[in-house]
Chain A
Amino acid sequence: MLSADNLAFGYHGKPVGSGVSIDIRAGEVLCLLGPNGGGKTTLMKTLLGLLPPLAGAVRLDSEDVAAWPRKRLARVVGYVPQAHAAFFPFAVSDIVLMGRSAHVGLFAAPSRHDRAVAALALETLGIGHLRDRIYTEISGGERQLVLIARALAQEPRILVMDEPTASLDFGNQLRVLGRIAALAAAGMAVVLSTHDPDHVFLCGDRVALLHGGRLEAIGAPEAVITAAALKRVYGVDVQVVELPDHATRICVPAVEELRPRRPATP
């Protein structure tokens, strides 16, 4: 559906990465994993059309989107930024309603239909009760869900999420990942960046490992996230362990490296 075709990306002509080809399919979660500075964020901004490609192209259903007006792109691709503190105390319902801007005429205000779509987006994520709350007064996890609801109100086919679990507590991380998996199960294509390989195992259908602006590997999480790959990319020793249920894997740091054994006391 959405594809990067031999893409080079960067800021003001300075390349951050190049030669990246990926395609994003309906109903799957594609995770971008890699160290800081590896090019995850820049790649996502280029996929969103916020940065022009330095080479190659971003295609949607094999059509180059470079010349598309923002409005047309926003009807297909929704962006979920990291939960931030807003500058003004908007009501949650107003924030979500802003997701409708690609469907609202330039001089118009949102219609009853737009309000209904925004309300449905909140309900879909199970946060309908937040609608009259002030965005700046709710928790970080709730804000992240509100921003996902705003992107859903765009009625896109693809969601691009910038570290949706960053700065959330443990419970909220899992709740947000659960919602993301549910959205994909309902047919949404999801691209998300993350710093946590365990999250890829939890909700990723495929993972793209980005390192130094290059695509190291792309494929099923079990195939891509190996002790050797993590050592190569992050430079740390970890074990990738399959849990007894044979369904989940987790990454466990090599403990010796973190806590050198003390000599036994006599």
Chain B
Amino acid sequence: MRSGGLLRLGLPSLALLLLFVASFAVGRFPVAPHDLLAVLWAKLSGGASGVPPAVETVVWQIRLPRIAAAALIGAALAAAGATYQGLFRNPLVSPDILGVAAGAGLGAVLGIFLSRSVVVVQALAFLGGLGAVLVVYLIGAAMRGRDPVLVLVLAGVAMGTLLGSAISLVKVFADPYNQLPAITFWLLGSLTAITLSDLLPILPVILVGLLPLYLLRWRMNLMSLGDEEARALGAETRRLRVVFIAAATLITAASVSVSGIIGWIGLIIPHAARLLAGPEFSRLLPAAMLLGAGYLLAVDTLARTMAAIEIPIGILTAFIGAPVFLWLLASGRRGWQ
């Protein structure tokens, strides 16, 4: 178990580091590795880098925010996905199971429809995501006496469908030239034009969400045994469930509020992490976050370099995610049996 630590976290860490470097280097404006090193060294030592100012601008103003965003959001979605999958004892669960993505989508779409600023759109997305899950949770709490987990999931499915219809309704009324493309692009997910000032507000929110997941990382295992067994083992499951749902929802809502809806990461990355690190949550969580960060960074780098135009990330994650998922289903059954 201890000797497996290198494989479990070392290789993903190394891969992530290489991806960082590669992602800084490639793009519409390639940055040579030695220029990249010079820029980094200049920042650290405070001296002059000796490379053209345009290169510095690309590295610090364009690539860095985007790379940081991809790594942060990838790690966040994977952490939320691992949490939801354990909580709902179902490996087919993704972070939007309780309607957080649909709620965030409706918030953002309304913001775009009402021609509000980017900040307002992000805030509406965040609040929409939290609000949707809150309503689902309250419905679940009102239906006492049935399997609490099943009620939550079914209420989440119903809420997701309802909010999806509301999104479609707004799209019908939206200006087809101005607003509809922006709405479509948001719903497919993108990190284009993300800035550090977009990231700064969500970073503390994501950290606040990750903290209880880290602190309760061993307790989380009990939740995946089911409500009755966990209670018989001494866990106050109702309180723990509230904390885990709140934490994972906060993380997801904060992430999608700036990136739009990026599907599949929260679904397949925890699977891959479980193959690598096993289902024990204190080992699973860091592995999932590392893999999630690396995966979204790789996909975003592809999204901005593959074609002359940016490809929305949501499309790529689905194109990659669905076959990978089927492959996992066919071969790596250990992940969820």
Binding site for B on A (CB under 8 A): 11-12, 45, 48-50, 69-71, 73-75, 77-79, 81, 85-91, 94, 98-99, 101-102, 104, 106-110, 134, 136, 150, 154
Contacts and interface: CB of A to CB of B under 8 A. Distances in A.
Contacts of A49: 231
Contact of B280 (A50, A70, A87, A94): A94
Nearest to A89: B334
B279 interface: yes
Contact of B221 (A71, A78, A94): A94
Given A101-B233, A108-B218, A87 B90 contact: yes
A117 to B, nearest CB: 14
B202 to A, nearest CB: 25
B89 A87 contact: yes
B63 to A, nearest CB: 38
A154 B216 contact: no
Contact of A70 (B215, B216, B219, B236): B236
A101 B219 contact: yes
Contacts of B337: 85, 89, 136
Interface string B142-171: 001100000000000000000000000000
Nearest to A78: B232
A225 B102 CA distance: 60
Contact of A87 (B144, B224, B236, B282): B224
Closest 6 CB pairs of A and B: A74-B234, A102-B234, A79-B232, A88-B279, A12-B145, A71-B234
Interface string B78-111: 0000000010011100000000000000000000
B278 interface: yes
B280 A107 contact: no
A100 B337 CA distance: 24
Contacts of A78: 232
A99 B233 contact: yes
Contacts, number: 87
B229 interface: yes
A186 B14 CA distance: 53
25 contacts: A11-B145, A49-B231, A50-B228, A50-B231, A70-B234, A77-B232, A79-B229, A79-B232, A81-B232, A85-B337, A88-B224, A88-B274, A89-B279, A89-B334, A89-B335, A89-B336, A90-B278, A94-B221, A94-B278, A102-B233, A106-B219, A107-B215, A109-B217, A136-B337, A150-B233
Nearest to A79: B232
Q: Please indicate which of the listed interface residues B218, B224, B274 has the most CB atoms of chain A within 10 Å of its own CB.
A: B218
Contacts of A86: 225
Nearest to B240: A106
B216 to A, nearest CB: 7
Contacts of A73: 234
A89 B90 CA distance: 12
Q: Please indicate which of the listed interface residues A50, A89, A110, A154 has the most CB atoms of chain B within 10 Å of its own CB.
A: A89
B127 interface: no
A90 to B, nearest CB: 5
A70 B337 CA distance: 29
Contacts of A101: 219, 222, 233-235
A48 B232 CA distance: 7
Contacts of A110: 218
A89 B337 CA distance: 6
Contacts of A91: 278, 280
A150 B278 CA distance: 19
B236 A69 contact: yes
A86 B236 CA distance: 21
A150 B89 CA distance: 19
A187 B219 CA distance: 30
Contacts of B217: 109
B238 to A, nearest CB: 10
A46 to B, nearest CB: 12
A18 B278 CA distance: 45
A178 to B, nearest CB: 24
Contacts of A108: 218
Contacts of A69: 236
A78 B231 CA distance: 11
A195 B235 CA distance: 30
Nearest to B233: A101
A87 B215 CA distance: 23
Contacts of B278: 89-91, 94
A157 B215 CA distance: 30
A91 B280 CA distance: 8
Nearest to B274: A88
A142 B40 CA distance: 57
A197 B219 CA distance: 39
